[in-house]
Amino acid sequence: MKQKKIVVVCDSIHEKGFELLGKESDIKVIDATKVAKDKLGEIIADADVAITRSPTDIDTLFLDAGKKLCAVVRAGVGVDNVDLDECSKRGVIAMNVPTANTIAAVELTMAHLLGTARKFPYIHNDLKQDRLWRREKWYGIELYGKKLGIIGFGNIGSRVAVRAKAFGMDIVAYDPYIPSNKVTDLGMVYTENFDDILACDFITIHTPKNKETVNIINKAEIAKMKDGVRLINCARGGLYNEEALVEGLKSGKIAFAGIDVFSKEPALNNPILDLDNVTVTPHLGANTLESQEKIAVQAAEAAILAARGVSYPNALNLPIKTEDLPNFIAPYIELVQKISFMAAQIYKRPILGVHIEGEGAVSEYAKSLLTFALVGALKESLGDNINYVNASYVAKDKNIQTSTKTLPVSGYSNKFTVKISTDKGVAEVGGTVFGEDEQRVVSINGFKTDFKPKGKMIIFQNRDVPGVIASISTLLAKKDINIADFRLARGNNDLALAVILVDQDISKELLKELNELPNCIWAQSVNI
């Protein structure tokens, strides 16, 4: 008799998930939801698949214990507690359940939107707990006729917009990674100027948490806002800088805030809790009976498929079948994804096409690497919502054109160039591998260069005239930005391109100043 596959459920899920797992004759399900975390290693030692939620960290300790694991399913959207790199190194496929809680998150946002306008929790306590009938104290404001700024117009942000519009609000959306007509076709305003968001009466955010979005609202942004602005965050903790948020709430610059997520959770000692002009909830974005059932069912279905080795829905790190490829291709798999990610950051615009050009022996495998190029290109805008399984489907849904092409060798034995076309232009990044695994970027938009695809950098195109390097260096020095490396490439048309590797993050304000330097054509920050 064939041995059953073992699925361990480490954290609480809806009973429907257990029912689904229990119906499968080839699956043995183990309920470890009440097992202490320090004892969990004994339970998962023989597991083939583990289902977890936020209380269980999928880290080195967990993976050391689960030596037989082929996959882990994070029953929810966020994967902050999953070490994807470590999973990949061990051949463990990590999956999540990205869409089951969409409506729940949308409706919680609306609850906070109304709460910030009418202060319901405080009114409730005044009457029910303190038994005070003080109608004259509790004046709120109406949503009708107010401007709602929405940062991120994906599955959740767009649905919030539709519901808020039904309240008579005017919607202004900021999302550089979507076509503008996705907003304008709904009778709403699309903006590329973040200051338009800051001028709104209410602001809500619905983006992934990444290097670009952490602290997207900071002290400088709050200073530009209207007096009496109201902020909502039901997405991820840390998108609004919490120190700046507290300061703004204390000063009255921010009239009210509705917060469901925090930088560190559980947030029992967060100073936000001490304020009387904020409504808070303990990360309840997915906490509806309907969404919990959907999450459990989808997680169970994914675990069953993974245990059988059939497929890996919403896999975040699904590796290519390397046994079908020669060994020398392995470093190019990572390289192609990196240079695609880099190219996507050059213009930060909706992607119209992703194209790979190969030179030398590697060109034969360009089609095999196209998925990795798509994941790299779309990661900047979609975060955890893009993966190796759904990349081609997402590209098709977004009408992104793809192609591969073989070119004559141009100076390197092997080279891949990724071209990402946008409405602003084509971003082109070429790379090669020296020795066995030394990855290098060797061209950007036709300019020859040579650096490792790693770290914080500024890409700066300019007119090739004296004084440009000095002006860049002086500005960076004034901002206490240390230059780690400075690569300059000259073209044949009186233009030059510099790649400046730096030790610190580049702020929006600094990037704006770089773009305003004399003889600058464009400047962009890139992080790999």
Any catalytic annotation for residue 134?
no
Cβ neighbours around 5 below 10 Å, total: 20
Any catalytic annotation for residue 355?
no
Selecting among 42, 192, 265, 516, the annotated active-site residue is 265
Selecting among 283, 349, 355, 487, the annotated active-site residue is 283
How far is it, in rounded angstroms, from Cα 104 to Cα 100? 9
Q: Are 210 and 152 in contact (CB under 8 A)?
A: no
| Residue 21: burial class (beta carbons within 10 Å; 0-12, 13-18, 19+) | buried
Element (H, E) at 423: none
Any catalytic annotation for residue 265?
yes
Q: Which two tokens stand for residue 390?
A: 């759904």
Element (H, E) at 202: strand 202-205
Q: At what angle are helices 15-22 and 289-308 packed, to 10 degrees? A: 30
Helix (H, G, I), strand (E, B) or coil at 303: helix
| Residue 85: burial class (beta carbons within 10 Å; 0-12, 13-18, 19+) | exposed
Q: Are 301 and 24 in contact (CB under 8 A)?
A: no
Selecting among 236, 349, 355, 487, the annotated active-site residue is 236
Cβ neighbours around 423 below 10 Å, total: 11
How far is it, in rounded angstroms, from Cα 377 to Cα 148? 30
Q: Which two tokens stand for residue 392?
A: 């081609």
How far is it, in rounded angstroms, from Cα 432 to Cα 371? 18
Residue positions annotated with a catalytic role: 236, 265, 283
